[in-house]
Amino acid sequence: MRPPPPGWLESPEQPESPESQPSLRDPRPKAERHLALSISTDACGRYVARTVTTDLPALPPDRSHVATERRHPGASSLDTLSTADLVGLFVDDHARVVEATRRAGPALARMIDAAVSRVMAGGRLFYFGAGTSGRLGVLDASECPPTFRSDPGMVIGIVAGGDQALRRSVEGAEDDAEGAEEALRSHRVGAADVLVGIAAGGTTPFVLGGLAWGRTLGALTALVACAAPPASAAAAIDHIIQLDTGPELLSGSTRLKAGSATKLVLNILSTALFVRLGKVHGDLMVDLRVTNAKLRDRAIRVLRTLAPELSRTAASELLDRADGHVKCAAAMHLLGVGRDEAGRRLAAAGGVLRQALARDEGDARR
């Protein structure tokens, strides 16, 4: 087959009409459109040319100033290290995770206190993000029901691209500034709710767009990030938890230190929230949901910690009489009442076991 004549391959396209321009929802950067000539041969060996439209993407925003995108000063020879040295370097580098979280502690505490009042009034906690950030939010949300016996609709995780993005990357989803709004609308988010956007680099359009929309509703908004968000976006966020973890050993791979710090913050956030909501007694999971043998064993041990006189068999039987509800079982035994009365007293104490027991002691003194 002879090569095509020179000059056939590409020519600029005429400007498009407004109707043919990409919509505002198109997450790609504006691009210069070109006409390209595709050359092939038919069954008789004759040239067949057809015109196809191609995009030459415009340059994306330069993010070299973002802390998580910079090169790590100690990793320029990463590929030459022994496996043992690689492991040691990653372990040592993770020391910054705890340091960064400690520095962000005051901001995190303020955010949790603000969230508690919303949730106590019937609001919900939403996590949303893209990629690793979104997956970490979904992970934390999914662990709340078995740990704290919370309603599955109380803490909700949303990842850009939908649940399919939990296993496979959905290209371009994070660049859709209206994507989180669509997902949040489906849950009928309102002023009582708490929206926590998660974006390691602090610039993800999916996250910033969702927070800006949530703010217009009066929802409490928070951003968990490992770099400062743009000033224009920060103005629409009530609480910013900034984790200064610095550059990654693998440049730009925020599933490393940034991911670890984010997971730590979400662990603290949800656990502290449920502590404040009375789901914990001392360090005991008194509201765990007994769904398997491991958790039943834990529930039995919790009851025996609160009431050492109980044998394992007695604690197991008590748990059955309480329909598997550890807190109710504890109240039944410690207050010497039946299941319904234990439930009533717990409800009167706002679901807080310590307060229910304290009220009983106060009544006894009187």
Catalytic residue among 13, 19, 99, 174: 174
| Catalytic residue status for 182 | no
Characterize the bridge pairing of strands 47-57 and 31-41: antiparallel
Q: What is the chain's length?
A: 366
Per-residue exposure over 22-50, b if at least 16 CB sit within 10 Å of its own CB, e if not? eeeeebeeeeebeeeeeeeeeeeeeeeee
| Catalytic residue status for 171 | no
Residue whose C-alpha is closest to residue 194's, from 264, 137, 127:
127
Q: Within 13 Å, how many C-alpha atoms sit on residue 338's CB side? A: 1
Catalytic residue among 13, 99, 143, 178: 143
Question: Got the DSSP string for 165-202?
Answer: GGTS--TTGGG-TTHHHHHHHHTT--TT-EEEEE-TTS
What is the number of helices (H) and of strands (E) in the chain? 13, 8
Cα 304–332–148 angle (5° rounding)?
70
Any idea which residues carry the catalytic annotation?
143, 174
